[in-house]
Amino acid sequence: MTPPAFDSAESSSRDHMVCHCLRVSASQIQAAIEGEALGSVPEVCRATGAGTGCMSCRVRIARFLQASSSAIG
Ligand code: FES
């Protein structure tokens, strides 16, 4: 059996819940970062509502920002 592929393109195309408290998905986070040119966790939190509950997802939001900034340059 071949293990599932986990390259960045495939994992970014899958939509999953990033913020369970506010029910904000990966695609919503990504769209906010790209569409509104957001550059910090607080900006993403304000724009999407993610990270405004228990705050445990803020690390995941930061990873989206890192991936986005490294993709840009
Ligand atoms: S999981 Fe995002 S605020 Fe709790």
Domain coordinates of the chain in residue numbers? Answer: 17-72
Q: Which of 16, 17, 20, 44 to mutate to test the pocket of ligand 1 (most atoms within 8 A of CB)?
A: 20
The reported pLDDT for the residue numbered 14 is 67
Q: Which of 41, 57, 61, 63 to mutate to test the pocket of ligand 1 (most atoms within 8 A of CB)?
A: 57
Which CATH code for domain 17-72?
1.10.10.1100
Give the span between the Cα atoms of 3 and 59, in whole angstroms. 27
Rg (CA), the chain: 13
Q: Among candidates 4, 63, 55, which has minimal Cα distance to 30? A: 63
pLDDT above 90 (res 9): no
Distances (CA, A) of 3 to 6, 9: 9, 16
| Mean pLDDT along residues 56-61 | 98
Q: How far is the CA of 64 from the centre of ligand 1 (A)?
A: 15
pLDDT above 60 (res 5): no
